[in-house]
Amino acid sequence: MGVEQAYLDLLNSNFALRKELILEETNNISNKEKIRKLTKEIEACERYIFYLEKNLVSREDEIDQLKAECQSTLVELGKYRDHLELKEEALVAQDERIIQLEDTVDKLKKRIQELSLCKGKIEMDEDNELFNPILRILDRRRAVADCVSEIRLFFDRNRIPIPQDIDDVFNATTQSLDEIIRQAALMQEIGVDQLNQIEGLQTLLGESLDRTNALNQDLIRVRDDFTYETNARRHWETVAQQNQARIAGIQIANLGIRFLNRRKDAQLANQQNQLVNQQNQIANQQNQIAEHRRNAHRLMLRYNADTERWRRRHAGCIRQAQNWQRQYRISQTQVQAQAQNILNLQQQILALQNNPPNMATIQDVMHTISPGLAQLPFYDGQEPPDSYYQKLRAVNEMASPLAVAVFNAAMRCSVMKNKMSGRFIPVPANNPYNANAAINTEPEFLNWLQGKYRDVMVGTNQGAIIALMNESFSPIDTPDTYAKRIRSLA
């Protein structure tokens, strides 16, 4: 009774501590919920502040970028101004150059017209032999040469000696004719040179016209570029004005964002102070909870030690009960086996008394197989039926050399039946596992033993194991009540 009272006091104290622990955990949960809400608010404020800072940084970056763009725009405008001034000077120089080229072209055109007139006259003279002096001179030279050659031939034919002065005249005449030919060839070369000069001047005139057209195209393109750059300059000036106005607006928005950031910082500081206070309160509560848990742990260790001691005592009681039950089953099995053996021996004696001629022979058989049967324990399901059957069959086969007719299949089956015990007796006359066939042969006995083994051992053991697993030692159990509850399952 003292142990049970101490156990009840331990349970009451444990229950009270659990109740206090539950209250502390409830308060802890509520405080954690408050902290979680405050943490969420702080996180939301931090996210908003981060958003504002990011927006502020992006605005500052945008301002810097716009300033850089404005500066680059101003630089480009300066470059465009310088470029436009250079273009204006180049346009003036090109206009002067075009005027000079136009004057040069007019002069070339006049010169080409003059040379064209000369060329036309020369071509007309070449086409009309009457108006070509060189051809007429050559013709007259050929006529004079023919006349001189006829005179010289006349003198040679008639073998008239030619005076020296006449010979000198002939020679002078021949030289004059050769000089005429040379002067005519020179005049022809001069004419060809003039024609080549006319063609070169025409080529130069074509090139000058092409250059004039190209310069006109360049002038048009330069004027278009000048117009485009003027428009671009106006556009960039407009963009620079817009960027300056946008920078001013962003600076105003930046001031507003900084003001909001100051307010949010103040709110965040207040919330952080509240959070610190809540965390201090929680730390104090957690210290109290830890102290309660240490007390509960000490009581739990005491409770576990007492429970373990009671469980060991209960296990000893269960083992003692199981030993008693095992001894009882063994004694019951031995008594049943002895009764069955007496019954079988009485049946055999009765059979032998009814058959006096074979009495000695059956006695010989029983004397032969008795040592083997005595070595085999009675069958109670502790080994598979097939192996035990083979052992019984080996014992029966020891009497085969005696060739006793009475020791037939039914007698051999009866010997096997006499070795059954426990839940395997009595052996029925018919096999319910094989369509109620008569159990009068060794194979049929094996069929019955296998079916009985499945029903008795397999099903019973599985059910008992499952039941024992489900029957646990509860806190309100005592060793006696637990032993009484599982005794039926052991």
Q: Which residues of the chain have pLDDT under 50?
A: 1-3, 126-131, 357-360, 488, 490
Kindly state whether residue 422 falls inside one of the protein's structural domains. yes
Helix (H) or strand (E) holding 440: none
Enumerate residues 6+ apart whose C-beta is below 8 A from 76: 236
Query: pLDDT at position 441, please?
Result: 92
Question: DSSP label at 161?
Answer: P
Q: Are 419 and 373 in contact (CB under 8 A)?
A: yes
Tokens of 34: 């408050």
Query: pLDDT at position 268, please?
Result: 78
Query: pLDDT at position 116, please?
Result: 63
Domain that holds residue 27: 17-276
Q: Are 302 and 10 in contact (CB under 8 A)?
A: yes
Of the candidates 220, 255, 276, which is a domain's last residue?
Answer: 276
Q: Are 387 and 346 in contact (CB under 8 A)?
A: no
Same domain, yes or no: 130 and 42: yes
Q: Measured in whole angstroms, how far is the alpha carbon of residue 8 from the centre of its chain?
A: 62
Residues written for the chain: 490
Kindly state whether residue 1 falls inside one of the protein's structural domains. no
Three-class SS of residue 425? coil
CA distance 36 to 48: 18
Whole-number CA gyration radius for the chain = 72
Kindly state whether residue 125 falls inside one of the protein's structural domains. yes
The sign one gets for the Cα dihedral 430, 431, 432, 436 is negative
- Helix 164-353 and helix 479-487, axial crossing angle in degrees, nearest 10: 90
Q: Of 200, 191, 151, 189, nearest to 171 (Cα)?
A: 151
Q: How many domains does the chain divide into?
A: 2
Kindly state whether residue 304 falls inside one of the protein's structural domains. no
Same domain, yes or no: 198 and 90: yes
Q: What is the pTM of this model?
A: 0.28
Same domain, yes or no: 214 and 72: yes
Query: pLDDT at position 447, please?
Result: 92
Q: Are 144 and 177 in contact (CB under 8 A)?
A: yes
Kindly state whether residue 450 falls inside one of the protein's structural domains. yes
In CATH, what number is assigned to the domain containing residue 225? 1.10.287
**What pLDDT, in 10s, does the model give residues 214-232?**
777 877 887 777 777 778 7
Kindly state whether residue 294 falls inside one of the protein's structural domains. no
Q: Which residues of 385-421 are buried (b: 16+ CB within 10 A; e: fewer)?
A: beebbeebeebbeebeeeebebbeeebbbbbbbbbbb
Same domain, yes or no: 250 and 398: no
Tell me the Ramachandran region of residue 422: left when phi exceeds 0, alpha when psi lies from -120 to 50, beta otherwise.
left
Of the candidates 229, 248, 276, which is a domain's last residue?
Answer: 276
Kindly state whether residue 161 falls inside one of the protein's structural domains. yes
Of the candidates 208, 243, 276, which is a domain's last residue?
Answer: 276
Residue 132 burial (CB < 10 Å; 0-12/13-18/19+)? Answer: middle
Query: pLDDT at position 131, please?
Result: 41
